[in-house]
Amino acid sequence: MTEAGPKLFYGNYLNKNVFSRNTDKNGLRFKKWKIYTMDRNEKLVLGKYEFNSRFILGSGKYSLDLIKAAVENAGAEIITLALRRAVSGVDSILDYIPKGVKLLPNTSGARNADEAVRIARLSREVCESDMVKIEIMRDSKYLLPDNYETIKATEILAKEGFVVMPYMYPDLNVARDLYNAGAASVMPLAAPIGSNKGICTKDFIRILIDEIDLPIIVDAGIGRPSQACEAMEMGASAVMANTAIATAGDVPAMAESFKKAVEAGRTAYMTGMGRVLEKGADPSSPLTGFLED
Amino acid sequence: MSEHINESILNDEIKEHLKENRVNHMEYFSDMERIPHDIMDTVVRAMEEYDYDKYTGQDVLRALDKDILFPEDFAALLSPAAIPYLEEMAKKAQIETRKHFGNSVYMFTPLYIANYCENYCIYCGFNCHNRIKRAKLDAKGIETEMKAIAKTGLKEILLLTGESRKMSDVEYIGMACKIARKYFNVVGLEVYPMNSDEYRYLHESGADYVTVFQETYNSNKYETLHLAGHKRIFPYRVNSQERALMGGMRGVGFAALLGLDDFRKDAFATGMHAYLIQKKYPHAEIAFSCPRLRPIINNDKINPMDVHEPQLLQVICAYRLFMPFASITISTRECERVRNNLINIAATKISAGVSVGIGEHSENEENKGDEQFEIDDTRSVKEVYDAILERGLQPVMSDYIYV
């Protein structure tokens, strides 16, 4: 596979989303390197779909009648929903999601790859969407994703033609495996889901951003707009948030705030941020000042 | 530990029975599956060592300051020293509930399909010596009741029987599960404890959640309250949840019947039991119920002694803070005011349109049986649904998928 090969590095000018990926006659994926200069209007590419918005909104934990306003204020083009809520009877969440927004059903409730695959297949029918966010948890306390099972489910579903977006614990080897398994993006967690703690896994997400040629979408644990902005400044392709918005005093207003934060962070990343010094100023007499000849 | 029995339960007949010789409540019957006792032994030891008078306000504040609580923090929150901090506990419980559940409140209803019972639990309306009208629904009766319930919009059902293996055998319960799967997304069970292979059969028949009320974790007290029947065997009951998980169930529910014994110790043991099960079976979904003793037919004096509303709230908040991800059900034993407020703090699941008798959801059922206890909140599904909305919360009929 290609990603073991040399990595082209263009600093801030490297835009992950512009690599088109193809399959050779053996079914292996390879990259066609296309190096672009800066394009601030670059779209978020997820499999065969393209989006302008880089903020993915969750639909859980808040009243259904607020979803429409939240989507509009967030400018969201993708909304996640748990399939298990879409089959919930009288008040189906599907009836509350505005038309034109892409549904990203998740497999929450799955405890292993097999269950995730079954839920994903059902979600394709119920939600009429071939996008799926893999969530596999076998820990009811921390709800941390099971990376191993996630890779297995990704491989099966990608082969079946799904646009697979796996939620994962940020691990470089796993991210590579997900890439090889055919994932359309990688969704590393920032902190335990629902914790609103911010980007606790920052250094590890940064490694994924640097190394993995797929959109890196920071998911889970983002509690404030400033943290969403930070993720985007780092070069994340998109941010996904739910609890932070769901538990806000004014859900639609907080959705808007996140939208602006994500845009601000994206612009900062795309323009190439100025250098930020860790400590104090540069010494006025540089250490190399003695050099003469 | 006090062996004093809540006086309100006793009558002359029970007092006579208490004098008789009884089988050893710690010895399994031959048909009962034995699994390791590691969890039970730890729970019982922790409960026996729990000295709630040693905790201070400082211990409570320290516990309230933590993100993740350990058993010692839970112990502090259940102590008398925590009562002055009830408001702080409730505020933090509300925050944790919102973090994990948002504003969702799950709705369900119990369906009693039979009330035959072989046990002699002296506080329970179904006990085999209590002279009540017994009934058992057949397949047609179950279907009729379920249709009537499904019409209300509910998607989750909890199936209950009295604890009689003879009158309500595992196949009968399995049949009820299969019918329930036609009308509901979520099927829970609150039936007599059984072996793991029987739980597996019921799981394959469509059930995914098992609740077993332990009533009390004080085995000496347990023995004086459960005078006969399968239920008398203490270790078999304590290990039910583990057997259910071994049988493939997704989630298990825990409860002590508050008011039977020292409620602080029982609540502590209940939390420890759930904590240890979750540690051993990390995927298990955990649920708590918080029932207080209620009057029954032929004894309207039964009451929960010293478990008043503040203590009930204390227990519920302590469960929430100890296991923020757990489902907490608030019973129709409680009144409308208490239930409406608790779903705004820590409870995440509420029953509605409840009947605890047999065959009462459909008008035409002639084979009706008496109730297990007196319910307090008699509101219909619609009324509870509207009350949830009025509080800015979101009624959810199901958030689950059977895989």
ipTM of the complex: 0.76
- Ranking A12-26, A45-59, A139-153, A196-210 by mean pLDDT, the lowest is A12-26
Q: Name the band, by pLDDT with cuts 50, 70 and 90, for residue B7.
A: confident
Q: Give chain A's mean pLDDT.
A: 83
Query: Which tens digits make up the pLDDT trace of A238-259?
Result: 999 888 888 888 888 999 999 9
> Pick the residue with more confidence: A71 or B347?
B347
- Please enumerate residues of B whose Cβ is less than 8 A from a Cβ of A: 98-104, 153-155, 185, 278, 282-286, 323, 325, 392-401, 403
Contact A16, A237 (CB under 8 A): yes
Segment A138-159 shows an average pLDDT of 94
Query: Which tens digits make up the pLDDT trace of B240-277?
Result: 999 999 999 999 999 999 988 899 999 999 999 999 99
CB contact under 8 A, A89 and B103: no
User: What are residue A20's phi and psi, to 5 degrees?
Assistant: -90, 140
Helix, strand or coil, per DSSP, at residue B107: strand
Position B347 scores a pLDDT of: 96
Position A84 scores a pLDDT of: 82
Q: Name the band, by pLDDT with cuts 50, 70 and 90, for residue A11.
A: very low
For residue B154, list chain A residues with Cβ-Cβ distance below 8 A.
89
Q: Name the band, by pLDDT with cuts 50, 70 and 90, for residue A5.
A: very low
Q: Name the band, by pLDDT with cuts 50, 70 and 90, for residue B367.
A: low
Segment B316-330 shows an average pLDDT of 97
- Ranking A34-38, A208-212, B320-324 by mean pLDDT, the lowest is A34-38
The reply to whether B180 falls in a domain is yes
Mutation pick from A63, A106, A247 vs chain B, by most beta carbons of B within 10 Å, is A63
For residue B105, list chain A residues with Cβ-Cβ distance below 8 A.
none
Query: What pTM was computed for the model?
Result: 0.85
Position B230 scores a pLDDT of: 83
The reply to whether B321 falls in a domain is yes
User: What residue type is B136 in one-letter code?
Assistant: K
For residue B103, list chain A residues with Cβ-Cβ distance below 8 A.
61-63, 246
The reply to whether B73 falls in a domain is no
Position B368 scores a pLDDT of: 76
Segment B35-57 shows an average pLDDT of 95
For residue B101, list chain A residues with Cβ-Cβ distance below 8 A.
61
Q: Give chain B's mean pLDDT.
A: 90
Position B298 scores a pLDDT of: 66
Query: Which tens digits make up the pLDDT trace of B65-117?
Result: 998 999 999 999 999 999 999 999 999 999 999 999 999 999 999 999 888 77
The reply to whether B79 falls in a domain is no
Among A91, A118, A247, beta carbon nearest to B102: A247
Nearest partner of A123 among A105, A102, A145, judged by Cα = A105
Give the structural domain span for B378: 7-44+102-396
**For a pLDDT cut of 90, what percent of chain A falls above it?**
48
The reply to whether B72 falls in a domain is no
- Ranking B141-150, B284-293, B365-374 by mean pLDDT, the lowest is B365-374
Task: Give the CATH number of the domain where residue B370 resides.
Answer: 3.20.20.70
The CA angle A122-A247-A204, to the nearest 5 degrees, is 70
Position B307 scores a pLDDT of: 87
The reply to whether B215 falls in a domain is yes
Helix, strand or coil, per DSSP, at residue A61: coil
Helix, strand or coil, per DSSP, at residue A176: helix
CB contact under 8 A, A88 and B397: yes
The reply to whether B134 falls in a domain is yes
**Is the pLDDT reported for residue B384 higher than 50?**
yes
Position B221 scores a pLDDT of: 85
**Is the pLDDT reported for residue B119 higher than 90?**
no
User: B355 vs B160, B310, B336, CA distance in Å?
Assistant: 11, 27, 15
Q: Report how many Cβ contacts below 8 Å link chain A to chain B.
A: 82
The reply to whether B256 falls in a domain is yes
Distance in Å, alpha carbon of A130 to nearest chain B alpha carbon: 19
Sign of dihedral through CA atoms B313, B315, B316, B322? positive
Count the domains in chain B: 1
Query: Which tens digits make up the pLDDT trace of B201-224?
Result: 999 999 999 999 999 999 888 888
Position B44 scores a pLDDT of: 95
Helix, strand or coil, per DSSP, at residue B374: coil
- Please enumerate residues of A whose Cβ is less than 8 A from a Cβ of B: 60-64, 82-85, 87-91, 109-111, 115, 118-119, 122, 137-141, 143, 194-196, 243, 246-247
> Pick the residue with more confidence: B257 or A3?
B257
CB contact under 8 A, A246 and B103: yes
User: B399 vs A195, A214, B42, B97, B211, CA distance in Å?
Assistant: 20, 31, 33, 16, 18
CB contact under 8 A, A115 and B283: no
